[in-house]
Every structure is written in C-alpha cells, then in structure tokens.
Amino acid sequence: MRDFFAGGATRDLDFRDSALRRLARIIDEREAALLVALHADLRKPEQEAWVSEIGVVLTDIAYTVRKMRRWARSRRRPPSWGLRPARARVYPEPQGVVLILGPWNYPFQLLFSPLVAALAAGNCVCLKPSELAPEVSKVMREIVDDAFEPGHVTLIEGDAEVARRLVGLDFDHIFLTGSTEVGRQVMSAAAANLTPVTLELGGKCPCVVAPDARLDVAARRIAWGKFLNAGQTCVAPDHVLVHLSLQQCFLEAMKATLIEFFGDDPRQSSDFGRILNRSQFERIKGYLNQGRVVYGGQTDEDELFIAPTVLADPRPGATVLEEEIFGPVLPVLTYEDLDELLSALGTKPTPLAIYLFSEDPHVQRRFVAGSASGGVAINDVVNQIVPKELPFGGVGVSGMGRYHGKYGFDCFTNYRSVLRRSSRIDPGLQYPPAQVPLRTVKRAYRWMFRN
C-alpha cells in the first residue's frame, strides 16, 4: 500500500472519481448478497437494511463525486503585510495510508462511509471489518476485490488480535467506530507512532420530553429511533426523561406506538431484528428486571429475540442507568425542573447525541445552551446524522473528530500551507541586530493585524 501511494495515482482527481463510481456500480451488483448477509448476521429487515446501510453508502458516493473536485481545490490566502510581496495557498493533500476499523451493528455502512471519504481525499485504505458480522464481511471482501486495484484498498479479516496488530502499525491515520473502551485501546496504540485518530464511539444518549411536547409525534419518533436495528445503534435514545405531568400519557403513547409498529407479537414482525449473539442477549436480558415493565419483556434465547421493552421507574443504581444499553430496552424516568435536569446531565459523560421534544423556542435554546454532546436533535432522534452538510462525531468519551460530507474529506486530508515570497525585496528589519525599538515593533504589529 505504501508503494501504491508513492506511485501517485491517488492524487489524480480522475482516478479518485473513477474509483468511487466503480465502487457504486459494484455495490449495486452485490446488493442482493449484502441484504442476505445482513439478515444472516443481524436478522435485519430488508427495507431497514437497505435504507440504513446500502442506501447511506450509495448517497455518500453520489454526494462526494458531485462535490469532490471543489473540496480538492487549493485555496488562496492573503499573506501578512510584513511578508509582502508574497503569495500563500492551502493545498488539500492525502494523508497517505489509513486504517478504518468497523463495528458489527452497521457493518457495511460504518466501514464503507468513511472509506468513501478517505478515497475522495486521495488515500490508500486498509479496512478491518468486525469479525462479529462474518457474512457481511465476506461480501465486503468480494466488493473490495472487484472494485479496487491491489494496494489501493485492502480488506483484512480477523479477530481482535488482528485488529490489535493492525493499530500498532505505522499508519498515517486511524479511524475507528466502536465502543469507548476499544477507543481507549486504539488511541493508546496509535500514540506509540504518533498516529492521528478519529474515534466514533458511543454513550448514553438522553432524550428529554418537555411538558409542551406533542406526545403522539414524540412517541413515534422515539420508538422508531430506539428500536431501529433492535436498539443496536450508537445514536439511539438510550433513555427518556419525561416531565412528571406526562409520565402516564407518554407510557400509554409508547405502548400504542409499539403495537402499531410491530403488532401484538413483535417476534412475528418482519420489521424487527435480533440481538447479535448470546453474550449480548444475556447482557440486555439482565436489564429487564431492573424496573417496571410497561410493555414488552418477552425473550427467546434460541432466536436471540428480545421484544421492544419499555421500562418505567428503574431502581436507583441499576446498571441499566449506568451502562450503554445498546439493545431494545427503553428506561423511562421523570423530571420536574429543566434547569435541574440539565445540571444533572452535565455531571454525566458527554454523549454522542442528546434529544429534546418541545415546541417552545425558549426551552429549545435553554436546552442547547445548557447541555453538551456531539450532536443535538430537537423534535427528532437519530436523523441529525443524515444531512451530508452536518458534521458527525462525539466529544470526550463519545469520541473525537468529525466526518460526513466535506467533514469526512477534511478528516482524511492534510491541509498543507505553502508561502511564496519574492527575493527581489529583502528588508533587513527581521534580521539581527534589532534596528528599531520594541515599542515601534509593537505599533507596527497592531497596525498589521488590526481587525
């Protein structure tokens, strides 16, 4: 891969454009195989799988191809007066050979979306998919083998030990989507080589329902976002904090919504997925007895099925309130004062997303100003990650760095500064010995850098 990058092919915009278009074509050709694999690994419903995985990547490619040449242009910058006559430009250059580590919950989207950005920026890319989604991994290997020249993009399968060895190599950038604990391990390994990292992690994303919220809309949108992919989504609302005056109405609205979405027996619904494996199943099942089950609670170990579950009044100190749930269990808590709630949320680790349902602009402004998170959605959940024009990423334990759209291009780009000065004029003021008093220098600096 180092040799391929040194050959210079990836610096050519036509080469990048051709590679992205070829990737889109081969994804289209392998669509059926991908859908089968996503169902085999995660029992993803066909429409959900296409929209949240394949469709996302295809629209990323189309958007990137349309915008890439503009993003890749060098930009002129005015040099300081004291350096003139001179010219200055910023050149977007590829970082080199980058490593992208993907998770199991959206195994195609969360590996190939950053791949699109890295290719647009002109890099060679090593992909490491999760070993926990083996059928999808097989199809992705076939796509990579068909779409790219050897050395341009490489996909390496294997377990956690393979990933550990990869992050110890001297890559030019490492991009991880995964858990906070894995993020710490990757960052520690990357530090040995001073390799920059982008970490897209998780966290407990709270969802607040204010007294003036439209409960029917709130219930539908929260239920959709929470139980998408059987709750195995990093930006899903982890728990709901509903105003005390609305608690019973909200619980009834959630129950009615879940029956509308998945019927009286969600196990028979073709629109509801399954838990990844036995370990995850047992972990999530353990949350079911930590509060009052308002709806759901059914499990089937053989099918790795846990019903969409609403859990009211979880007991203080319960692990469901401390750990990222990452499954189809929705705790519902109450609050009375928004300012007190925001203060309490401020003591928690910064989440990847935070949500509010309220029609009051004043409440919305208080909520945004008084909270911290990677992203915010008001009167919605999850969809803040959809617009290509918005950056996506976390803060602190929920991650570092941003991608999507132009922000993805920036993530994998080295913005190189180039200054060209004339040698025909060479004033001696910058050279020793000092020729003017310091107070004169200060006045000159204030004039040159005035606003």
Helix (H) / strand (E) element for 285: namely helix 278-285
Q: How far is CA 105 from CA 61, 280, 327, 411, in A?
A: 21, 12, 11, 23
- 243 forms beta bridges with 335
Q: Which listed residue (200, 205, 324, 411) is catalytic?
A: 200
- Of 126, 205, 207, 234, catalytic: 234
Instruction: Decide if 234 is catalytic.
Output: yes
- One DSSP character per residue, 56-107 reads HHHHHHHHHHHHHHHHTS-EEEPPPGGG-SEEEEEEEEE-SEEEEE--SSST
124 is catalytic: no
Q: What is the largest CA-CA distance in the chain?
A: 87
Residue 410, both tokens: 């920036």
CA distance 226 to 314: 17
Tokens of 157: 């399968």
Distances (CA, A) of 86 to 75, 114, 448: 15, 37, 15
Closest CA to 141 of 61, 48, 30: 30
Please answer whether residues 71 and 117 qualify as being in contact, where contact means their C-beta atoms are separated by less than 8 angstroms: no
C-alpha distances (whole Å) from 359 to each of 8, 241, 380 are 54, 16, 12
Residues 6+ apart with CB under 8 A from 173: 95, 96, 98, 99, 123, 195, 196, 197, 198, 411, 412
Q: DSSP string covering 186-238, please?
A: HHHHHHTTT--EEEE-----EEEE-TTS-HHHHHHHHHHHHHGGGG--TTS--
Q: Closest Cα partner for 54 from 85, 70, 33? A: 33
Active-site residue list: 200, 234
